[in-house]
Amino acid sequence: MRERAFVERNKKKWARFEAFTEGRSELGPEELSDLYAGITDDLSYARTYYPRRSIRVYLNNIARNVYLNLYRSRSAKGNALLKFFTHDLPAALYRARRELNISLLFFIVSMAIGVFSSVHDPDFAEVILGEDYVRMTEENIRRGDPMGVYKSSGETEMFLAITLNNLLVAFRTFVLGAFFGVGTLIIMLYNGIMVGTFQYFFVERSLFGESFLTIWMHGALEISALVISGGAGLTMGRGLLFPGNLPRMQSFQIAARRAFRIMLGLVPVFVAAAFIEGFFTRITELPDYLRGGFIFACFAFVGLYFWWYPRALYGKSGDSEVSEDELISPLSTPFTLRVIRKTSEVFTAAFHLFRLNFVRTAGTAAALAAVYTAAFYLIYGAEGTDEIDFTKVALFNLRQFHDYSVFFFNFFLNIFLLTAVVWSSLLYFGKTFGEKAGAKFSAGGRTFLKVAVIVTLFELCILSGNIIVASLGLIAVPYLLLFAVTATAENLNLPDAFNRMLNLLRGTRRQVFGTYLSLALIAVLILFLMDSPLTWFYLDVAQWNLDMSEDAKIRLALLSLLFVNQAGTALVIPLLVYGQICEYYAALESRDAVELGKDVEAIGVKRKAYGLERE
C-alpha cells in the first residue's frame, strides 16, 4: 500500500486520538484500549513498509501517548498508596537488605556496650541519661511509680512532641548517611548505648519486668523504625562509597531515592509509636499478658513486613540490585531545554543548570545573607540572636526564622530574601541560555514584583499561625515556583500565568511534586553540610585569633551562624527553581511537541538529501 493511501485510510482514527489528548473529546477505557491496539498495529506496519518516512516517527509518538493515557486510566482504578506499600517500599527494602541487617547488628552491639558500661561504672547512667532524669526516675521509684515519666504531661501534648522528636531523630540519622555512612553510625551508636543504659538502669533496681512491658509497648515500633532509618542512611552512604559499574553521582542519586522511599514508609510507624507512647504506655495497670502480647505483635509486624515480606516477594525472582526504571539517562549534548524528561532526568538536568550558574549563585547567596544578617542586627539588636537556638538542626533553624510570634519583622526580611533568590535564579538562567530560553523570557523589574507577590502568598500562609494553612503553603512550594517560572518565561501577568500553568500541567502528567522532593532532599543535605561541626570549629579558630571581649566574641559568633544559615538557604533554593524550570520546558514540549516537529522535519530534509523523497 502506498503511503498516501495508508494515511487516508487511518487519519480519522489518529485525529480522534489527537482530539482526546488536546481535551476536545473523551474516550472510555475500553475505547482507549482498542485505539492503542489499532495504533500499535499501524506503527508496526509503518516500521515495515515506511521505515525511513516521517509517518513512522509520527505514529511512534502518538502510540507512546496512547500508552501513557491508557496506563493512567488503568492505574487510576488502583490505589497509589496501596501500590507504594505492596510494591515500591518492599522493593526498596529488599535492595537495602544488607544495610538493614548491618544497622540492626550495629544497634544491638551498641545496646550491649551501654549495658556493659553500666555494669562496670555505676555513674555511667548519669553521663548518658543526664543527672536530672536519673534523679527524677529514682524519685518515681521511691513513690512506687517507676514509669511515672510517661504520665508527666497530657496525652495529646506528649503525642505531638514525641512524633516531632522521633521524626527529627530519624531524619537526622538518615540524612547523615550522605557523609559516607559515618554520621548514621555515630547516631546509631549513641542511641543504642542510651537504650541499653536506660534498660539496665531498671534491671539494676529489680524492675526489669515492669520496665520492659512499659518501655517496649511503644519502643517495639519506635526503636525498630530507628534501626530501619539507620539502614536507609547506610543505603545512601553505600551508593556514594560503592557505585559499582555506575557513575558515582548516579549511584548516589539512585541510593538516595531508594532510601527516601524507606523513610516515607516509616512515617506512619513513627506516628503510631508516638500515639502508643502518648496515650497507652502511661496505662501501667493493664494486665501483663496484654502488654506482652502487644509488644510481641509489634515486633512480629516489623519482622514480617520489613524483613520477611520483601524477601518473600523478590527473593526467588532474583530482583536486580538496580532496576531499569531507576537508571538516569545522560544529558543530551548540547544541552536541550525542551525535552520530555522523567523525574530522575529532571533531577540531573537541574543539577546541570545549578553547576552552570554556581559561581554567580554562591556570590549572590553570600551578598543576600550579609544584607539579611545586618538588617536582623539593626532591627533586633544583639539580644535578638539570643532567641535563636543554633544548636538545633538546619531545618529547625529555618523554622525559627519564620516564627513571626518572636520575630515579626522577619516577615518582610524573608520576603526580600526569597524573592531576590528566586528572581536572581531566573535572571541567571535567562542570561545563560538567551534566545534558547524563549523570545519572551524576561527577568526584569516587573518580574521581580511578580515573584514578590508569589513569595508573599507563601509567607502569608506561614504568618497565619494555622498549622493546616502553613502545611498547605509548604506543599504548594513547587507549584508556586512553577507559577513564577511560567510568568517569567512567557512574560504574562499573574492571573494569565496561573491559567497557563494549569493548562501546561493538565494532561501532561508531570510529577512536579516528586521533582521537588528529590531536589529538596539534596538541598537539606547541603544545609546539613553548611551547619556541620566544622562550621563551629572554624568559628572557634577565628575567635582564638580575635582580640576582643568574650561577650563580643559570642555576639560575633552568633551573627556568623545567622549568616551561614541564610547563605545556605539562598544557595539551595536556586536548585529547586532550576528543577521547576526543567518541569516547565518538559510540560511545554509535552503540549506543543516543537522539538518532535523539528525532528520529523529533519528526517524529511535528510531523505531529500539522499534522494529518498519518493518511494
Compute the residue count for the chain.
Answer: 615
Give 605's pLDDT tier (boundaries 50, 70, 90).
Answer: very low
Cβ atoms of 526 and 351 within 8 Å: the answer is no
Looking at the structure, do residues 124 and 222 belong to the same domain, yes or no?
Answer: yes
Looking at the structure, do residues 34 and 120 belong to the same domain, yes or no?
Answer: no
Note the maximum CA span of the chain. Answer: 99
Give 181's pLDDT tier (boundaries 50, 70, 90).
Answer: confident
Q: What is the 3-state secondary structure (H, E, C) of 58-86?
A: HHHHHHHHHHHHHHHHHHHHCCHHHHHHH
Per-residue pLDDT at 490 exceeds 70:
yes
Looking at the structure, do residues 392 and 498 belong to the same domain, yes or no?
Answer: yes
CA distance 346 to 328: 9
Residue appearing with cell numbers 514584583? 449
- Average model confidence (pLDDT) for the chain? 80
Looking at the structure, do residues 60 and 105 belong to the same domain, yes or no?
Answer: no
pLDDT digits (tens, 9 = 90+) for 415-469: 999 999 999 999 999 998 887 887 788 888 999 999 999 999 999 998 887 888 8
CA distance 376 to 312: 57
Looking at the structure, do residues 515 and 583 belong to the same domain, yes or no?
Answer: yes
Closest C-alpha to 355, from 277, 261, 448, 428: 428
Looking at the structure, do residues 56 and 105 belong to the same domain, yes or no?
Answer: no
**Residue 433: inside a domain:** yes
> Where is average pLDDT lowest: 148-152, 456-460, 469-473, 564-568?
148-152
Looking at the structure, do residues 305 and 364 belong to the same domain, yes or no?
Answer: no
Rounded to two decimals, the pTM is 0.63
**Residue 147: inside a domain:** no
Per-residue pLDDT at 102 exceeds 50:
yes
Print the domain residue range for 380: 343-598
**Residue 565: inside a domain:** yes
**Residue 290: inside a domain:** yes
Looking at the structure, do residues 386 and 351 belong to the same domain, yes or no?
Answer: yes
Asked if the peptide bond before residue 334 counts as cis, ω within 30 degrees of 0, the response is yes
Per-residue pLDDT at 90 exceeds 80:
yes
Looking at the structure, do residues 465 and 552 belong to the same domain, yes or no?
Answer: yes
**Residue 526: inside a domain:** yes
Q: What is the pLDDT of residue 235?
A: 92
pLDDT digits (tens, 9 = 90+) for 48-61: 776 666 666 677 66
pLDDT digits (tens, 9 = 90+) for 293-344: 999 999 999 999 999 999 988 877 655 555 555 555 556 556 778 777 777 7
- Classify 2 in phi/psi space as left (phi over 0), alpha (psi -120 to 50) or beta: beta
Cβ atoms of 422 and 481 within 8 Å: the answer is yes
Looking at the structure, do residues 65 and 94 belong to the same domain, yes or no?
Answer: no
CA distance 600 to 371: 51
Looking at the structure, do residues 399 and 520 belong to the same domain, yes or no?
Answer: yes
Number of domains in the chain: 3
pLDDT digits (tens, 9 = 90+) for 520-554: 877 877 777 776 555 655 666 666 666 777 777 77
Closest C-alpha to 399, from 507, 515, 390, 611: 390
Residues near 231 by Cβ (< 8 Å), separated by ≥ 6?
96, 99, 100, 101, 102, 103, 104, 262
Max avg pLDDT among 270-284, 547-561, 594-608:
270-284
**Residue 324: inside a domain:** no
Looking at the structure, do residues 478 and 534 belong to the same domain, yes or no?
Answer: yes
